[in-house]
Chains A and B, each alone.
Chain A
Amino acid sequence: MDFTLRKEHEMARTLFREFAEKEVKPLAQEVDETEVFPRGTAEKMAKNGFLGIPVPKEYGGQGCDPLTYVMCVEELSKVCGTTGVIVSAHTSLCCDPIMTFGTEEQKQKYLVPLAKGEKLGAFGLTEPGAGTDAQGQQTKAVLDGDEYVINGSKIFITNGKEADVYVIFAVTGMIEKRGKMIKEISSFIVEKGTPGFSFGTKEKKMGIRGSSTYELIFTDCRVPKENLLGKIGQGFKIAMHTLDGGRIGIAAQALGIAEGALERTISYTKERKQFGRSIAAQQNTQFQLADMATKVQAAQLLVYKAAMAKATRKEYGFEAAQAKLYAAEVAMEVTTKAVQLHGGYGYTREYDVERMMRDAKITEIYEGTSEVQRMVISAALLK
């Protein structure tokens, strides 16, 4: 087994790192403080092809593999968790389901401008009563002539008010499965500006504060029946498939946050002097850094393995769940230790590790909590 990256991946990492250092890092603190979506950065990322990395060229994308996309989210998140999740939600949660389940017409109409970065994408599955339990959906879609009429609401939607294209899930009926009546869930593409589609409250969050997290409200929102994504009743499958890919993106975000915190802690501990020598000269610091670096490396291998599985296999949910579970928990642990090693300064907003610790927490929650990842992993082990 050879762990050497191919030339194109090394070059891509250089590109993403240079872009992140030059365009994203200088704004990271301001984006966090002001909670303003970094529109200018999103436009620059669009111009440079960052919003369509794994999408084939014939659909306006860059034609690269999932590993290249993962590296992009990783490098962006190393300096700004908000910017990392903007790319991840757009690519994994909106481009990917349209690319996988969309008709040729839907791909031309929606995927091409999304992959070119002319439009931003979002994904609406979560509801107040349907978080981990996606079957708890209350939003309904009813066919009326040539249109579906959608009523209901979605919460905690990343890229909420900033997106142009939304992949939305709604109940379209009841079906019998193994003798039990369950909800039939279908998926729809909804455009911003569609009558009856509006935005509710903006969430005030602990971390990733520049990402636009909104409630989506549908009141007699009529979408053409051509906007049904996949087949009727295929929604749950589409959601689960999409989240498998999304988890790799969030795992990459978590990995990037952990790497960023580790880098900053290494430089800080070399500079900070106590008792007449740098704190890096203290054995406690050395052991903490060794543990942090080892866990970050292990997380990277799991995340890259999941990305390679997505590139080569039809099913990669197991690898995605392991990568997200581990990378998210490592991000939380490493950022917490980073703050500790920074001491009192690490608790202030002057230092990036404070923001990184807040940003890390969400990676254990969204796109499937750590508990859900354990369910997925154990289910595969015990089947």
Chain B
Amino acid sequence: MTSTGEAVQFWVLAVIAVGGALGMLLMKKAVHSALCLAATMLSLAVCYLAQGAVFLGVVQIVVYTGAIMMLFLFVVMLVGVSSEDSLKEQLKGQRVAAVLCGVGFGVLLIAGLANAKLSHFTGLSEANAEGNVQGLAKLIFTKYVWAFEVTGALLITAAIGAMVLTHREKIRERLTQRQLAAQRVKDNIQVPPLPAPGVYARHNAVDIPALLPDGTVAEDSVMSTLRERGQIRDVSQEMLQRMAELEEATADWLGRPSSARPQVAGPRQALETVPTPTKEEAE
């Protein structure tokens, strides 16, 4: 049996670890998942330290939470912070089946452990007599030296693989600013600069498109990345509503009769589509 201190520590850490893992599974956004996983990894590191695996505990903090999780966060930022899972199911009932499989697997695993005869444990006091790091070093450089060397080859392969996969070949020479300007005039699609995104009294952000005179959205005013991700915030409706309220309040203040009040613009309808004549009508 272990000490009471370790038992208390285990139960606290186990709750954090399982909570973090469930959080990672259930959080919608990838950033939140990454942070939950970092919490789980930190609590596992303390578990390692408590079990006498000092070296592994420190490596867990430095390599996993320090390097791997940060790499994950970098990629999450690169791919888009708010990229969420699509809730559309490609295979019908796959999620329900997956949850059932998971529960069944867990029950099998835990039942198997419960049936094992594990009442006795040796403890690491003898193996760690010279110190944990020294003991591990002795094993790595004698019994496992071949595996250790192969690991070096693996790491170099991984580094080269990552570079090859993310490298982009430059196919043609980069155009200069003068050439780009000449091209723009020649194409004659958008010669002046693009419209700036919406700047209103209440809103000032790049994801709010400018409005055209008729109240519709000028898509060009928002940068293409946001347009592609569908992160444009259309506030034109809100603005028209506020304008209408303001007009009403002014009219109330001036005591205008209802006939003299400006007509309040109702909520803008979606652009009317011109009904295309069906075949029968055409005939």
Note whether A and B form a binding pair: no
CB within 8 Å of B: which residues of A?
none
The interface of chain B, by Cβ under 8 A from chain A, is none
